[in-house]
Structure 1
Amino acid sequence: MDKLLPFLPVSLPVLFGLIVLLLGVFLPLKQRYLLPHVSLVGVAFVALSAIAAYKAVAPNGEILGGYLILDTYSLFFSLLLSVATFITMLSASFYLERDGLVKAEFLALLFFCLSGMLLLASSRDLITLFVALEIVSMSVYVLVGYDRDNLKANEGAFKYFLLGSMASALLLYGIALLYGSVASTRLYQIHSYFSTHAHEPLAAMGLLLVLVGLAFKVAAVPFHTWSPDAYEGASMPVTGFMATAVKAAVFALLIRVLGEGFISLKTYWVEVVAILAVLTMLGGNILAYTQRNIKRMLAYSSIAHTGYLLTGITALALQPGNEAVSALLYYLLIYVLSSLGIFAALTWLSSQNESLVQISDLAGLGKKYPLTALGLALLFFSFIGIPPLGGFFAKYYLFLTVLKAHQLFLVGVAVLASILSIVYYLKIVMVMYMEPLAEHWEAPRIRPVSLGAVLGCCSFAVFWAGFAPVNFLNVFPGLLPLLEWLQYTSLI
């Protein structure tokens, strides 16, 4: 059993996905309401298995001869991704009931996607990473177009699949070129080889293709064109899942690949990533400002946050030590919590108002649902970076790390982009509180305590994250290991 324990975090989601599919076939129709409950228990077991597996292989952490590693870095992402999947399943149950869609296949796809994301966070081999990325991508393609009667969902899924397949082809070709140079796909062997063979044209071309492929996956400008259509076409829970769990998983891959495997080739990729960061920060915020559709606005907002994270990737290359990794992980934590709260609230609101499409549809929300509006406003203020919310300290810590890496221009662009974001985030808050109540709001049909709790917990977390860590830990001392991971996590 001890030998199997390290593989449980990746294999359990597949097992629970198959169980949910079988229950969807054999359970009577009246009892299929149990499927979301079984799924939530399954995700909780996955999170617990990640902790148990980490303890079982510590301190070395390597399994399968180094193809996988269960270190604090992978454990951080395992827990974060499990929380995001758990909240998505909570949200999805209301969406599936409202639209009369089959639950079993939807929940199983979330489990399969979770398995791929956990594999992304723990893999140290390019082929394993590619396979894991494809598991995630294939699952999300189907989730985006799950409602086959929705033309926008079909369009978004098709565009996502088409461009995602192109990105996968470029990524695989880049891996092949790198293998031709190194004769290995293991990250630590690639790092060792390029420490002494830093100037190889074939390797530079392979690295460039890998970067382009991953830029598609994180929706960096100018490789972002699939993102707004996919976000708009997908259901609200799936949009939130893509903006949080999937993005965090791909960044887990990006940080490990560039920070561990290709750090010796930083002269080739750091300027490329810096250019992508500038284009993504400015492009995401400018395009978000022009949007009236709330999903498309959040899609471009997510792209802008990708740009901020890419600035941290440049600091990872230019500044020795773990401070850049800590800043990136802390930013991802606050971003994911804020986004989960926002999409949980929007999922519930869309169940009360099926025409919730435009930002103007939120008019009068502060009067109709004051607590929901307050939670949303708090999370949007965190996105802006208003102190003392967690978003402020996440941006401050990240930008300070980039500044220490002597990237003054990048920090200047990031600050300018953050100022631009104030306009469209405040516009939503003003619509909620300053506009008269929209006529199409219906009387509440359901009051899901679970989604209200998600919004409340996420709002409380980003609010409390801005206060002194000492007081924070006096109440919740169990969070000390998380803060230690953020400070001391090492990729090599």
Structure 2
Amino acid sequence: MSPNLLALLPEIILTATGVVVMLAEPCIAPGKTRKPLGWLAILGTLAAGAASWYQLQFGTISAFSGTVQVDAFSIFFQLLIAAIILVTLLGSLDFFDGPTTHAGEYFALSLFAGVGMMFMACSVELLMVFVGLEISSISTYIMAGFRKGQATGSESSLKYFLLGSFATAFFLYGVALAYGSTGSTTIAAIAAGLGATTTPRIAFLALAMIIIGLGFKVSAAPFHVWTPDVYQGAPSPVVGMMSTAPKAAAFAVLLRITFIGFPLMQRRWVVLMWAIAVLSMCIGNLGALLQRDVKRMLAYSSIAHAGYLLVAFTAFPREGIAAACFYTAAYAAMNVGAFAVITQVAGYNEQARSIDDFTGLALKRPLLAGTLSFFLLSLIGIPFTGGFFGKFYVFSAAAHAGHYWLMVIGLLNSGVACYYYLRLLVALYTRPTTDTARILTHKHVSFAAEAGLTIAVLATLGLGIFPTPILALAQRAGLAQIPAPHLVAPIAREDAAAAWCTQHQDECTTHVDSASH
């Protein structure tokens, strides 16, 4: 098998499956179930995940003239994205089955979104990252407004599209400035070009623009204004996917760009990440305190968790990358699981929206209430859950780098978050005093949905009780990013770094030999 074909094997499988789903959808008569198309999409996702795991045995695969690099780092995020899409598809097989006949489009778009996200994770050239970003974004724009008969869905899709296009312009302008200041759009070559550039301020402006573009995708403050409205109007299973998988892909790109592309400017961009992390944690948690709508509350919660994850960017490279990878996996497991429960409770028309609508859920549907409670406890960061170890590794990495105040701010925000999570948790086990609670009691949970929830629960519990395997894989992914001698000659990068440090003694924060990392 050629390196080019091997490097993009998971993406090829997802693309082929999505095309088959689109071709098969018109062949099914109107009014007939589209579940077979969903099962086909699930099989394609499993095959793509297996292909990513298969790539591990080949070490590092460089393809398409060095613009695509498959290593432990990219494989970690590809497996995570495949798992998120799998749980989302399992939980939504029945969601679109009755009230709509265009479920096949949803399954195909989910696969195509996965293609773009995986492509982002393995791209080491900024223009290739942009291609993956657009593939992912266009799919999620459509999925956000998938409930065509509801005005909130159309508003959600339009707002997501307009603000997303605006953020993409920032990203492209940053890429253009990076090329102008370093002479390349390849991440490793940018690192080498920084040493010889005569315009370091433009180079940092390029990085700032790129961070703004990716900050939109991860819902980090102050680029978060779209998040509550889009999450509220989009279908619950779509929100579960778009709140986790695109973030994982964007954080993968951001980790490569900051730690590998701009290591010589770490002192500058660490300050920027410090500020964005604090803003995200504070705005997210304080905003969630005021919400009664569960989806809007979790939207602000996702902003706060983006802030927790950005804390890892202030740490040393090896610890920071590993902590960020682990936290991304833990957050994905508990958040996609929480939205899977909301999908089963609220249904297609989302009759249960506010916290009051969930009152007494434990009396009518105890298993769903217990599952949602478990995910809420993990989001808080209670021990023996993935959320606890995720925050522990992130804050420990920041402390080792000397950012004690950032760790304190994060811990205080975690305490604030307890209030709104526990408010929903208490409502689940409170006996309703009126008949206003609109909990669906007649709809049973299908086998596919049970399987998806089981995967999310086991992943969240496993990361809390046995974090070592995933942490080892995350550390391996981090180590795969530090040395990159096969992309840029170490001596050339060292000479370039030496020249840059000579010209900018006050800005150089690393030794010359760190250029080879």
TM-score normalized with structure 1 length: 0.92
- For 2:104 and 2:430, the matched residues in 1 are separated by 42
- In structure 1, runs of 5+ residues without a counterpart are 474-478
Question: Which residue in 2 is equivalent to 1:155?
Answer: 155
Which of 368, 381, 384 is matched with 1:385 structurally? Answer: 381
State how 1:232-247 maps to structure 2 within 5 Å: 232-247=232-247
Taking the aligned partners of 1:159 and 1:103, their CA distance within structure 2 comes to: 23
Contact preservation (8 Å) 2:38, 2:107: yes
Q: Which residue matches 1:349?
A: 345
Alignment size in residue pairs: 479
Alignment correspondent of 1:50: 52
User: Aligned partners of 1:116 and 1:353: how far apart in 2?
Assistant: 29
> What is aligned with 1:35?
37
Aligned match of 2:458: 460
Contact 2:120–2:132 (CA under 8 A) maintained in structure 1: yes
Name the stretch that deviates more: 85-94 or 408-417.
85-94
Q: Distance in 2 between matches of 1:398 and 1:442?
A: 39
State the alpha-carbon separation in 1 of the partners of residues 467 and 311 from structure 2. Answer: 26
Establish whether residue 23 from structure 1 lines up as the match of residue 19 from structure 2. Answer: no
Shift of residue 468 of structure 1?
Answer: 5.4
- Report the CA distance shift for 1:435/1:144 in structure 2 as closer, same or farther (over 3 A): same
Counterpart CA distance in 2 for 1:155 and 1:469 is 40
Please list every run of at least 4 consecutive aligned residues from structure 1 whose deviation after the TM superposition is greater than 6 angstroms. none
Alignment of 1:79-118 (within 5 A): 79-118=79-118
Letter in 1 for 2:449: L
Once the two structures are superposed, the pairs formed by residues 63-78 of structure 1 within 5 Å of their partners are 63-78=63-78
Q: Which range moved further: 20-29 or 408-417? A: 20-29
Give the superposed CA RMSD.
2.1
Q: C-alpha separation between the residues in 2 aligned to 1:482 and 1:449?
A: 31
For the Cα contact (< 8 Å) 1:6–1:54, is it kept in 2? Answer: no
2:223 is aligned with 1:223: yes
Deviations 1:174-231 (A, max 9, x none): 1111111112100110011113448622212222211221222211111111111110
283-292 vs 447-456, which moves further? 447-456
Does 2:405 align with 1:409? yes
In structure 2, relative to structure 1, the CA distance for the partners of 1:7 and 1:458 (3 Å cut) is closer
Query: Is 1:253 aligned to 2:253, yes or no?
Result: yes
Which position in structure 2 is the counterpart of 1:445?
443
In structure 1, distance between residues paired with 2:141 and 2:453 = 27
SS in 1 for 2:94: helix
Give unmatched runs, 5+ long, in structure 2: 484-517
| Residues 225-273 of structure 1: per-residue CA shift (max 9 Å, x gap) | 1111110110000010111111111111111111211122223321111
| Equivalent AA in structure 1 for residue 148 of structure 2 | R
Q: Deviations over 1:97-123 (max 9, x none)?
A: 143140121111111111100011000
Deviation per residue, 1:351-399 (Å, 9 max, x gap): 3984111111111011111121111111111111111222111111110
Alignment of 1:268-287 (within 5 A): 268-287=268-287
Structure 1 residues 206, 435: CA separation in 2 closer, same or farther (over 3 Å shift)? same
Q: Distance in 2 between matches of 1:482 and 1:160?
A: 34
Read off the aligned partner of 1:427 and give its amino acid letter. R
Describe the superposition over 1:292-311 as per-residue Cα deviations: whole angstroms up to 9, x where unpaired: 01110010000000000111
Greater share of helix residues, 1 or 2? 1
Relative contact order (alpha carbons < 8 A, sep ≥ 6): 1 or 2 greater?
A: 2
Matched, 1:485 2:476: yes
CA gap of 1:199–1:442, structure 2 versus 1, over 3 A, is: closer
- Give the structure 1 partner of residue 506 of structure 2: none
Q: Is the 8 A contact 1:375 1:456 kept in 2?
A: no
Partner of 1:189: 189
Residue 31 to residue 158, structure 1, CA distance change in 2 (3 Å): closer
Q: Structure 2: how far apart are the matches of 1:33 and 1:230?
A: 27
The change in CA–CA distance for 1:402 and 1:184 in structure 2 (over 3 A counts) is same
Task: Give the SS at the match of 1:466.
Answer: helix
Q: CA deviation at 1:486?
A: 5.8
Identity of aligned residues (%): 35
For 1:267 and 1:63, the matched residues in 2 are separated by 32
Q: What is the rounded CA distance, in whole Å, between the counterparts of 1:251 and 1:423 in structure 2?
A: 28
Q: Which residue is equivalent to 2:295?
A: 295
Aligned to 2:501: none
8 Å contact from structure 2 (residues 42, 86) kept in 1: yes
1:345, 1:452 within 8 Å by CA — same for their partners in 2? no
> 1:484 Cα deviation (Å)?
5.8
Are 1:228 and 1:300, in contact at CA under 8 Å, matched by a contact in 2? Answer: yes
Q: Is the 8 A contact 1:256 1:491 kept in 2?
A: no
Cα offset for 1:80?
0.7
Q: Residue 352 and residue 371 in structure 1: after superposition, are their counterparts in 2 closer, same or farther (change >3 A)? A: farther
Q: Deviations over 1:62-90 (max 9, x none)?
A: 11221111100111111110011111112
Distance 1:107 1:491, change over 3 A: farther
Structure 2 Cα separation of the partners of residues 480 and 332 of structure 1: 11
